[in-house]
Structure 1
Amino acid sequence: MKEDHGMNVFGGGLNYTGLMVDIQQLCKLYPYIDTGSIGNTVCGREIPYLRIGRGAKEIHFNGAFHANEWITTPMLIQFIKEYADAYSHGKLLYGVDARELYYQSSLWVVPMVNPDGVELILDKPPKGMEGRLMQWNGGSADFSGWKANIRGVDLNDQFPANWEMERDRRQVTNPGPRDYTGIAPETEQEAIAMVKFTRERDFSLVIAFHTQGEEIYWNYNGLEPAISERIAERLAEVSGYRAIKLTGSDAGYKDWFIQEFRRPGFTVELGSGSNPLPYLEFDQIYPKAAAIMVEALRT
């Protein structure tokens, strides 16, 4: 059995249009990959998911909750491509039998939770919203640091896990590029779609991929199962990242998943340095991300 370490990034492009091209091509190349939509964004874009695997154990990965962390999307797409290729050809996927993974687990991936925000950074503001977005952005037409959705709400502060505490901690009272929690949890279509999608499935483990710090957050207010720390240590071992017991953070997707389901949930901060991370660093960051994903599938 051969080892698969292919690093030819599968990409029709980095933006939403490129993502949809990638999904179409992946499903054509590998017909056993399922795809669909978990809902629509404020601008009407579908939020796609992909599923690979037929095992009873359901696992979920997502990326690009924050617009300027768009590099997490091609990371996830590349992993699905490598996984599918390894399964099709009987190869190892980072030292693990891909066919064994395929029949043990079902992996559900939402590669771009925040398409409108990603498009704002990588393309241009939606027609008719230019003035409002520039105002929210402090008068600047440079949206490269924008984290929020197109309504200026931070989607990873939108979940009903001590949302009021996060709002008070942030002390951001108006829409903007980052840290505005909105007027209540689950006001934004993208967050609502993620809650509905998660409740419809039976995920045993979830990972939300972000970018900054090479850290793995695994806990939430003591509500996580005991195994979460051990899994985090394994993810840290294969990647070289640090497993961190985080405090002073609420209302995130990982927080809400742990609170509601009492199952292992993780936030993985890929890479370090400036945000957005330069795409030139993809080849350096990706193998560590892939090792984390394979290890998560093995749990």
Structure 2
Amino acid sequence: MDISVRRGDTLWYYASMFNLPLRLIIDSNPRINPNALTIGQTIRIPGYRSISYQIQRGDTFWKLATDRNITLDALYLLNQNINANNLQIGQSISIPSRVTSRVVFGKQAYDSSTLGQDLAELFRIYPFIRTESIGRSIMGKELTELLIGRGSQVVHWNGSFHAQEWITTPVIMMFLNDYLLSLTNQGAIRGLQMNPFYDRITLSIVPMVNPDGVDLVINGPPSGPRGEEVLELNNGSTDFSGWRANIRGVDLNNQYPAKWDVEAERKPDQPGPRDFPGYQPLTEPESIAMAELAGNRQFAKMLTFHTQGKVIFWGFEGLEPPESETIVNEFARVSGYRPIQYVDSFAGYKDWFIQDYRRPGFTVELGKGTNPLPLIQFDEIYQEAIGIFLASMYM
């Protein structure tokens, strides 16, 4: 919600008026000097929408403010050109409305277009979210990183490395929405107040690593030469439900130089729906972008969300730090998932992260069944994942 500064207004006053943490207002207006507001300057207020209302018989600003549990001055602030003492029936005014419910609805086929729509709405309501473009997919779709928080410790989550595992993206997005709601409404998730986390950590989130692959699984092949090529890679079948790779037939989670040569020896040697690690490590723009992001952000810990199995992989060749075991045991406690230290599979993002940075890295396999997991499992998966998200923030 945008407002216009009046004489004598301060960000502190707005925080009090709208019952918001001051730091969220400051972070929503990064180009504004908090100590030097100017009359007429536009300020963004997070966690609110401005809604249009038509004056009814008997309405006054006092009545409207009382009925909606908002301050009288909030109405004056949003309606500076309105004569409050001479309201006319049918006249349109603006009323601030606190956002108290989700705008992300995860229980649906969630392609890159749906993600883009949800991100745009979250950015409008919560302008303290920072975004970075970390690269583009083969088909030119932007790979977006979200940054939330002020802390020096960066905790990273990502989803949809594998196309058919796209359900991981709406799970991440719905928790993000709940976190933002808690910050702006000063609420709790499972008894934990969220505002202290905003000051202590910075969340780095790439909700969809493989947008071309996700769109392929959900919507079918694109038109043009790229669609023809991918149909050929899929043996002419228009059923892409089993597709894991990017649009070029490379498995993005087999692309990392962490015993890549071992994987290459036993995996397909040509592009296809799944498991092809590429002709060498880090050939794909999506995997390159994620590798560069890890170097730029220096994550304190990293969680990559996949499906399925209700297990959490947490080690690589004995290079994981001692605290990884403590953390994964907490993940197991709050989710019911089984920790697995080592597995005979290499060249994944988690493997490479542990190898190169010697910090806690985890592959969380959400849900159980045959990929792509059916949406009927979504609510159960989300409830299991909540504890993992929270634990990754406080451990």
Partner letter of residue 389 of structure 2?
M
Cα distance in 1 for partners of 2:182, 2:330 equals: 23
- Pick the aligned partner of 2:228 from 124, 128, 131: 131
Distance 1:5 1:100, change over 3 A: farther
Q: What does 1:274-293 align with in structure 2 at a 5 Å threshold?
A: 274-293=370-389
Which structure exhibits the higher relative contact order, with contacts defined as CA atoms closer than 8 Å and separated by 6 or more residues?
1
Pick one of 245, 249, 252 that aligns with 1:148: 245
Q: Deviations over 1:62-110 (max 9, x none)?
A: 0000000000000111011000000111111222110011111000100
Asked if the contact 1:5/1:93 (under 8 Å) is kept, the reply is: no
Q: Following TM superposition, by how much is the alpha carbon of 1:132 offset from its aligned partner in structure 2, in angstroms? A: 2.0
**Does the 8 Å contact 1:68/1:121 carry over to 2?**
yes
Amino acid at match of 2:122: L
User: Cα 1:290–1:238, aligned 2, differ >3 Å: closer, same or farther?
Assistant: same
- For 2:103 and 2:291, locate their aligned partners in 1 and report how far apart those are by CA, in whole Å: 33
Establish whether residue 238 from structure 1 lines up as the match of residue 334 from structure 2. Answer: yes
Say if 1:35 and 1:241 are closer, same or farther in 2 by CA, change over 3 A.
Answer: same
Distance apart, 1:269 and its partner CA: 0.0
Where structure 1 has 5 or more consecutive residues not aligned to the other structure, the ranges are none
Partner SS state of residue 146, structure 1: coil
Alpha-carbon shift at residue 221 of structure 1 (Å): 0.2
Q: What's the secondary structure of 1:55's corresponding residue?
A: coil
Q: Contact 2:311–2:339 at 8 Å: present in 1 too? A: yes
1:13 Cα shift? 6.1
Which of 279, 282, 291 is matched with 1:195 structurally? 291
Within 5 Å, which residues of 2 pair with 1:65-104?
Answer: 65-104=161-200
| Root mean square deviation of aligned Cα | 1.7
Aligned residues: 295
Match of 2:77 in 1: none
Counterparts of 2:188 and 2:373, CA distance in 1: 29
1:244 & 1:161 partners in 2: Cα distance? 18
User: Which ranges of structure 2 fall in alignment gaps of 5 or more residues?
Assistant: 1-99
Cα separation, partners in 2 of 1:265 and 1:34, compared to 1, 3 Å:
same
Distance 1:232 1:188, change over 3 A: same
| SS of residue paired to 2:329 | helix
Matches within 5 A, 1:1-299: 9=105, 14-127=110-223, 128-170=225-267, 172-299=268-395
CA contact (8 A) 1:206 1:264 kept: yes
Q: Does the residue aligned with 2:350 lie in a helix, a strand or coil? A: helix
Q: Is the 8 A contact 1:10 1:81 kept in 2?
A: no
Q: In the TM superposition, what is the alpha-carbon distance from 1:129 to its structure 2 partner? A: 2.4
After TM superposition, the score normalised by the length of structure 1 is 0.95
CA distance in 2, matches of 1:5, 1:257: 36
Q: Share of identical aligned residues, percent?
A: 46
Inter-CA distance 211–80: structure 2 relative to 1 (3 Å threshold): same
In the alignment, the residues of structure 1 paired with residue 106 and residue 162 of structure 2 have an alpha-carbon distance, to the nearest angstrom, of 22
- 2:385 & 2:101 partners in 1: Cα distance? 13
CA distance in 2, matches of 1:179, 1:222: 24
Residues 30 and 7 (structure 1), Cα distance of their counterparts in 2 relative to 1, 3 Å cut: closer
Q: CA deviation at 1:5?
A: 10
Q: Is the 8 A contact 1:60 1:108 kept in 2?
A: yes
Larger radius of gyration: 2
Equivalent position of 2:90 in the other structure = none
Q: Which deviates further from its counterpart, 266-275 or 30-39?
A: 30-39
